[in-house]
Amino acid sequence: MKAVNRQPFLFAMETKNSKWLVLSLLALVWGSSFILMKKGLEGGLTPYQLGAYRILFTSLFLLLIGWKELLQISKKKILPIIAAGVLGNLLPVFLFALAQTQISSSISSTLNSFTPLNTLIIGSIFFGLTFTKKHVLGICIGIIGCLILVYAGATGNPSKNYWYAVLVVIATWCYASNINLVKKYLSDVTPFAITVGNFTFLLVPALLILYFTGYSIKEPQMASSFLPISSIHPLIYVAILGIIGTGIANIYFYKLIQISSPLFASNVTYLIPIVATIWSFIDHEKVSLAQIIGTGIILIGVYIPNKK
C-alpha cells in the first residue's frame, strides 16, 4: 500500500522554482497580517489578547490536523523546537501587537524588513556566516532609513508614541535568530512537525496570558471595517491571522528555510511592505512622502548585502 503524504500539497512540488512560489505566497499572507492585527485591536482586543488568541487559534488548528506529527519529534529536538517557538512566534506576536497600538500597519511592515540584515548579523556572530563591508554598509543605511521612518511617523501623528517602532526591530532580531536556529538544528525535522511542536508548547503560555489579562473584549475603539461587511467580530480577524497567517504560513516558511537558505527565506520581508501598503491605502491610512523615502532607504539597505 502506498504511504500517505500528510505534508501540505506544495511540498510535493519541489522544483527549482518552488522556493519562489513559496516566497511569493508567504509575502501575500504575511503582508496581509498587519491589517488583520490592526482590525483586531480596533475591534476592542488588547495587545495581549490579540497575541494570546492568535496563538490559541493556531495551536488548536495545528493540533487538530497534525497531532500525530508530535510522535515524529525526537527528544534531542524538543529544546530547539521550543526555542524556535519562542523566538519565531511567542515574542514577535506580542511585540508586533504592542507596536501597532502606536504605529501604523504600513510602517510596522516596513520595519520588518530589517529581518534579512539581522539574519546576517546573528548568523555571522553565532552561526559562522561571512560578514563583509557591504553588510556593514547595508546595516548603516537601514538604520538611517529606520530613523527617517520613525521621525516621519512621529511628526505626522504627534499623539502616537513612535518609539514603539523599536519593538518591531526587536521582533526582527527574534525572527533572525529563529531562522538561523532552524537551519542549523532542525533541518532534518519536517516543517509540519516543527510548527505543530512550536504551538503545542505555546498553547500553555497563551492560556496563562489570557487568564491573567482577561478573556472579555472591550468596546471597539473604531467602528470602521475595510471589508464590505458592516460589523465583523475581532476574533474573526484573529482566527484568520492565527490559522492562515501563522499556522499554515509557518509550515511553509520552515520548508522555505530548508529548501533554500536562511538569507533567501528572510528575503520575504522585501515583499511584505508592498502588500501591507496596498492594504493601508485600501483602509485609508495616511502615508507621507517622508515615510516613502524612509521605506525606500531601508529596502536599499536590505538589498545591498544581498546583491551579487
Q: Specify the pLDDT at position 218.
A: 67
Percent of the chain at pLDDT > 70 equals 85
Which is more confident, 43 or 227? Answer: 43
Which is more confident, 264 or 80? Answer: 80
Is the confidence at residue 132, as pLDDT, over 80?
no
Provide mean pLDDT across the span 259-271. 77
Is residue 164, in this structure, part of any structural domain at all? Answer: yes
Give CA–CA dist 92/241, Å, rounded.
Answer: 14
User: Confidence class of residue 113 from pLDDT cuts 50, 70 and 90?
Assistant: confident
Least confident of 17-21, 183-187, 302-306: 302-306
Per the prediction, the chain carries an average pLDDT of 82
Which is more confident, 45 or 284? Answer: 45
| Residue that has been written with the C-alpha cell 538611517 in this structure | 144
The candidate with the shortest Cα–Cα distance to 196, out of 79, 282, 90, 71, is 71
Is residue 277, in this structure, part of any structural domain at all? Answer: yes
If one counts the domains in the chain, the total is 1
Is residue 84, in this structure, part of any structural domain at all? Answer: yes
- Express each pLDDT in 137-147 by its tens digit: 877 887 787 77
The CA dihedral of 154, 155, 159, 165, to the nearest 10 degrees, is -10
Domain coverage including residue 73? 46-213+232-306
Q: Specify the pLDDT at position 281.
A: 77
pTM of the model: 0.80
Is the confidence at residue 226, as pLDDT, over 70?
no
Q: Specify the pLDDT at position 116.
A: 77
Is residue 121, in this structure, part of any structural domain at all? Answer: yes
CA distances from 207 to 48, 107, 159, 247, 269 (A): 11, 30, 33, 17, 30
Backbone angle region of 153, left / alpha / beta, with phi > 0 → left and psi within -120 to 50 → alpha: alpha
Is the confidence at residue 14, as pLDDT, over 50?
yes
Provide mean pLDDT across the span 248-262. 85
Is the confidence at residue 77, as pLDDT, over 50?
yes
Is residue 73, in this structure, part of any structural domain at all? Answer: yes
CA distances from 299 to 15, 210, 232 (A): 28, 37, 34
Is residue 283, in this structure, part of any structural domain at all? Answer: yes
Least confident of 50-64, 205-219, 259-273: 259-273
Is residue 114, in this structure, part of any structural domain at all? Answer: yes
Is residue 14, in this structure, part of any structural domain at all? Answer: no
Sign, CA dihedral 230-232-237-243, equals: negative
